[in-house]
Amino acid sequence: MSALVFFRSSAQITLTNPVKLELPDELVVLKRTDLEKKTGPIASGKYITIKKAGGVPMVIQFDDLNGDGRWDEAAFLYSFKPNEKLVLKPVITDAPATVKAVVRAHVRQMRKNADNTFGPAVDKDTMPVNAQPTDFSKQALPPYLTEGPAWENDKVGFRLYFDVRNGKDIWGKTTTRMVLDEVGADTAKNYHHQADWGMDILKVGASLGAGSLALEVKLPNGKDTLVRLGGQHIEQVTYEKVADGSVRAICRLHYKNWTIAEGMAPVSVTEEIHIWGGQYFYESRVTVAGAPANAKLVTGIVNLHSKQVHELNAKGSKAIYTYDVQSENKDKLGMAVVMPAVQVAATATTPNANTDVQNTYVIKANITNAKPVVYRFYAGWEKSDTRFTTAEGFKQFLLSEINRMGASIWK
């Protein structure tokens, strides 16, 4: 939920948009524990219904975040008018409301079958140790559809290379439908060329691509170094689907016992990725256990085809962004990382040779045990939205996003 303000009375919940801006497709998340303060206990197998003005039930997604068989959060999208006040009256029901819902978010990981088809999406998957990138000169299809987990909404899509590269890539979309169960399954259809749905629009190389992760640490010899999350020195990497509904999709990636350098204690990292309808970003929430003293979590934007990085500071957020003719379609693409300003330690540019992470504009975050590092990665392809056909258009879009977030988004 963004800069919305909750007010509770004995029979209702009121959401107020405190800004003089429209908030289209705002994600509203109601925790079960908060709802029970209004409704009383919600028994296992029970749900809530909330009706709009006129009596039509809202499309609500119920998500079990901890796997105990009971939903923990109820999520829905709502487009707020400037300073609008929305009164909700949740009612306990035996089943979710029967509403025809358009699917606006999706996450999946699909394994290749022996017959070169791809099986159904799996709930969990573990990467083979030291898994290497697919050599497409020797085999036509990778072991996973599009080489690893992918997540999308009705605006944009992303993927993770489920191998030692551990990089993130962008699917530029020109359709609102979910396509990533199909893309990459047919070798006759090259997703590096524009199709009716869109295409793969990013070249990642040795960079952090579209918001991949690294750690900046001080080595035992006293030198600072930037080490990519991934590679050959992780005991186990696991994918976990958390939620996959019409409103939002969530997955977690667990990196167990990562040995950054000889003589250093292993580190474990969990990245929880969220995407929901109507937005041009994914949101990551990253926790790091066992980080060395003064280590920084680092993410960033590939700069293979961009000439300059820009910064924005407003409303408690800091952003780095690029805009250039930098898509694989050789047209205009804006990319940005936005995170709470209080998290940010520094920004920088990596060397372009002789280092593990290259060709990247980076933003470094302080690591604390109390809170995860949170950031959003934005991708604005000119074929997706006319706002992204100019540098000024992309900048104004980012400013409106930061203003929309307000100070409360990062709570």
pLDDT in tens, 16-52: 888 888 999 999 999 999 999 889 999 999 999 999 8
Q: Are residues 218 and 276 in the same domain?
A: yes
Q: Are residues 188 and 313 in the same domain?
A: yes
Quick one: which of 63, 237, 185, 168 has its CA closest to 379? Answer: 168
| pLDDT average, residue stretch 162-171 | 97
Q: What is the pLDDT of residue 13?
A: 87
For residues 53-89, one letter each, b for 16 or more C-beta atoms within 10 angstroms of the residue's C-beta and e for the rest, the string is eeeeebbbbbbebeeeeebbbbbbbbebeeeeebebe
Q: What is the pLDDT of residues 212-259, one digit of tens each?
A: 999 999 888 878 899 999 878 899 999 999 999 999 999 999 999 999
| pLDDT average, residue stretch 146-164 | 98
CA atoms of 23 and 5, how far apart (whole Å): 13
What is the amino acid identity at position 231? G
Q: Where are the beta strands (DSSP E) in 219-266?
A: 224-228, 234-244, 248-258
How many structural domains compose the chain? Answer: 2
Q: Are residues 251 and 174 in the same domain?
A: yes
| CATH at residue 400 | 2.70.98
| pLDDT average, residue stretch 317-342 | 98
| CATH at residue 77 | 2.60.40.1180
Identify how many contiguous H helices and E strands the chain contains and give both numbers.
Answer: 2, 27
Instruction: Identify whether the C-beta of residue 374 lies closer than 8 Å to the C-beta of residue 343.
Output: yes
Domain that holds residue 9: 5-93
- What confidence tier does 1 reach under pLDDT thresholds 50, 70, 90? very low
Residue ending a domain, among 69, 93, 117, is 93
Residue ending a domain, among 74, 93, 112, is 93
Instruction: Identify whether the C-beta of residue 48 lies closer than 8 Å to the C-beta of residue 37.
Output: no
Quick one: which of 49, 12, 17, 51 has its CA closest to 34? Answer: 12
Which comes out higher in pLDDT, residue 375 or 13?
A: 375
Q: Are residues 127 and 176 in the same domain?
A: yes
Q: Are residues 316 and 409 in the same domain?
A: yes
Cβ-in-10-Å burial (0-12, 13-18, 19+) of 120 comes to exposed
CA atoms of 361 and 302, how far apart (whole Å): 6
Q: What is the residue-averaged pLDDT of the chain?
A: 93
Q: What is the pLDDT of residues 377-405, one digit of tens each?
A: 999 999 999 999 999 999 999 999 998 88
Q: What share of the chain is helix, strand, coil (3-state, %, to 5)?
A: 10, 45, 50
- What confidence tier does 11 reach under pLDDT thresholds 50, 70, 90? low
Q: What is the pLDDT of residue 410?
A: 31
Q: Are residues 278 and 342 in the same domain?
A: yes
Q: What is the pLDDT of residues 251-309, one digit of tens each?
A: 999 999 999 988 899 999 999 999 999 999 999 999 999 999 999 999 999 999 999 99
At residue 317, the 3 state secondary structure works out as strand
The kind and range of the H/E element at 393 are: helix 391-405
Quick one: which of 368, 209, 229 has its CA closest to 287? Answer: 368
Residue 407 has pLDDT above 50, yes or no: no
Residue carrying the six token digits 């006129």: 54
Q: How far is CA 161 from the centre of its chain?
A: 15
Quick one: which of 345, 400, 411 has its CA closest to 374? Answer: 411
CA atoms of 24 and 279, how far apart (whole Å): 9
Q: Are residues 297 and 280 in the same domain?
A: yes
Q: Are residues 307 and 193 in the same domain?
A: yes
Residue ending a domain, among 93, 120, 150, is 93
Q: Are residues 175 and 87 in the same domain?
A: no
Q: Are residues 119 and 89 in the same domain?
A: no
Q: Are residues 131 and 159 in the same domain?
A: yes
Tokens for 273, please give them. Answer: 């990725």
Q: Are residues 67 and 180 in the same domain?
A: no
What secondary structure does DSSP assign to 246-295, as a single string?
SSEEEEEEEEEEE--STTS--EEEEEEEEEETT-SEEEEEEEEESPPTT-
